[in-house]
Structure 1
């Protein structure tokens, strides 16, 4: 077989299922994985909506798991038949950043850009896994082995990105057990950040969004829902806390933030909200995506990646800021073991398990936040 089915980006708001070339081993350290689950990520929607420099023809899919089907001669740890999940980061494993557990910023796999990923604009020549097969380079480093069988399929699939990324957002904020946290955005990453804060011993977790299904998901894991459509979220949170601010804040929205009506883009809305709601000397974790170029930006500055926010207030309050993509390998084996032990079950965010052939409709509904589409898993 030389062809396979895959989800291909055509143009803004349009993907299609096409026959594309099946990946082949290109290096002795490669493996080919037969995909069992690939997820649609909120980050995919930035490309889907035409809000990046993505060109037609990209095979989407950076959240991938499956069964090793072919093994390069230089692969030492993996064998055919192994069940694996891949971090969305494509990384070499031996550059300075990789050695320091900063695999999201590998300097070897995508020269000129800090880091690589499957099926994402500017992130290197790595075909995505919303397909029947995917090639995994530096496979011993980039594939995490899982128990054989089909148990925890939904949970393990989330180890590719959103569970570690949510955990990373909390980590970036400087969180300590017993502290209070405000998470802006109850999409998959925001829900995972809130869930991670609960797992790590947060005293209170507030989750800000305006989509009822998302807020209900947050409440289902013991978080306090803050409906953006009902007014300034920082003011709502402080009112509930008797005027007190929270210890930590997480931005799980990024550059396509909107005002309370949900219709007007305001790229700095979440940053302003976090600075307003986090206590002096607290911390902000920003795993939400920000880009250097945005073709659909609401103003000329944010089109170039320049976003205005109250730096003076941030300085006055002595807030620390952590940002950047998640170094998935730093966390994924530990989160895997939490799943196996029954301590964590991140799949509460999953709303739909669909066939790969249903991806076109799934992208449309997920993008419109309708019919309860909160997290979609695709199965070839």
Structure 2
């Protein structure tokens, strides 16, 4: 089959690799119809992780079940499905508690709970930027979708970024009527803004410096905050009468940059502590890692990010963190799409064939204007 593989920093290519196949009785094979390039794929693309050479990338996947193992009873060949980026066993303590992002059984990497497709340190599983994908524990992990092709560009967001954006607002403790500050207008930040609106926010501020992304935020009713035009904290405080937003979402992660391009891993955390009111909540769904050899300072190289914890404590704020347990949200979000209430496809900028993926990675990594979300269709 054709698949996109990692070769070296800034070097990915389409290669012919052995077909994915059934390996365990509870496996399914999914023929991929749509797979997305995610902002967190860029951490690997840029050489900021320990991903191994030859890894098939891609953790945002959907398609049609082609084959099932003898232990699979709930899904069957021909079913149209969304594949959560988390791989969960469904029966360990964390899975039974709803924390499928931290499954205790599926990742053999020491010290790591939770697994994912095509990602560094998240287990031996190939990704779905390919023609076929092996899905372990298929009865647990696959979400059925209506047959056909309707809502394809919306449903493809159910594997990761739509639930992750929603999770950010959940971690922040958002209530109906709250004002919400979202830092980062990449795909996850835009999904957090969309989720905040669906959850009844009175106002949503979206902070970024890229004009095309801020325009997308404004198109769904959010208030764009361009940090090249002034301190984003001051802009939010002024807009809220000095009180600050009721809660906030961190959708940037450890590679946060100031307007000059300098990297500061603590930057967004510091800004959220200042921009969110006393006793407000902060949800962190931007990626942070325990080891980053390319970090700007020694502490950050070992996962020690020195944000303004003193002010955070003094203001009595709360913070929730971690990868999204997709299975907690994806069924409800699917039904919002079907009902016409949610339209996560608003951020899609490009739909390409799999062969065009290496060039798409280059554009997306450079934040070239107009490259906000790339969908790949291996069948094209």
- The verdict on a shared fold, with TM-score over 0.5 as the criterion, is yes
Paired position in structure 1 for 2:90: 93
Cα deviation, residue 340, structure 1: 0.5
Residue 42 of structure 1: which of 39, 44, 51 is its match? 39
Whole-Å separation in 1 of the counterparts to 2:291 and 2:120: 12
Query: Does residue 285 of structure 2 align to residue 287 of structure 1?
Result: yes
SS in 2 for 1:214: helix
1:283-314 deviations in Å (ceiling 9; x for gaps): 00001100011121111110111000111101
Q: Which residue of 1 aligns with 2:361?
A: 363
In 1, Cα distance between equivalents of 2:237 and 2:313: 21
- CA shift, 1:244, in A, is 2.1
The question of whether the paired residues in 1 share the 8 Å contact of 2:212 and 2:369 is answered with no
Map 1:184-195 onto structure 2 (within 5 A): 184-195=183-194
Uncovered stretches (5+) of structure 2, i.e. residues with no partner? none
> Of the candidates 342, 348, 351, which is equivalent to residue 349 of structure 2?
351
Native 8 Å contact 1:53 1:295 kept in 2: no
Structure 2 partner of 1:309: 307
Provide structure 1 residue ranges, at least 5 long, that are not aligned to the other structure: none
The separation in 2 between residues aligned to 1:202 and 1:373, in whole angstroms, is: 27
Residue 217 of structure 1 corresponds to which residue in structure 2?
Answer: 216
Q: Report if the CA contact (8 A) 2:257-2:264 is conserved.
A: yes
The residue number in structure 2 matching 1:144 is 143
Which residue of the other structure, out of 268, 274, 277, is the alignment partner of 1:276?
Answer: 274
Q: Deviations over 1:43-84 (max 9, x none)?
A: 000000111111211100000000000110010111110000
Cα pair 1:58 1:127 within 8 Å, conserved: yes
State the partner residue of 2:234: 235
* TM-score normalised per structure 1: 0.98
Matched position secondary structure for 2:376 = strand
| Aligned-residue offset at 1:151 | 0.3
1:28 maps onto 2:28 in alignment: no
Question: Counterpart of 1:324?
Answer: 322
Quote the offset at 1:241 in angstroms: 2.1
RMSD between aligned alpha carbons? 0.7
Where does structure 1 differ by over 2 angstroms across 4 or more consecutive aligned residues?
none
How far apart are 1:242 and its partner, in Å?
2.4
Partner of 1:54: 51
What TM-score, normalized to structure 2?
A: 0.98
Q: Distance in 2 between matches of 1:121 and 1:307?
A: 21
Instruction: Find the aligned partners of 2:274 and 2:116 in 1 and give their Cα distance.
Output: 34
Q: Verify the 8 A CA contact 1:110 1:124 in the aligned structure 2.
A: yes
> 2:61 aligns to what?
64
Q: What is the alpha-carbon distance in structure 1 between the residues aligned to residue 240 and residue 89 of structure 2? A: 46
User: d(CA) in 2 for partners of 1:41 and 1:333?
Assistant: 21
Q: Distance in 2 between matches of 1:342 and 1:350?
A: 17
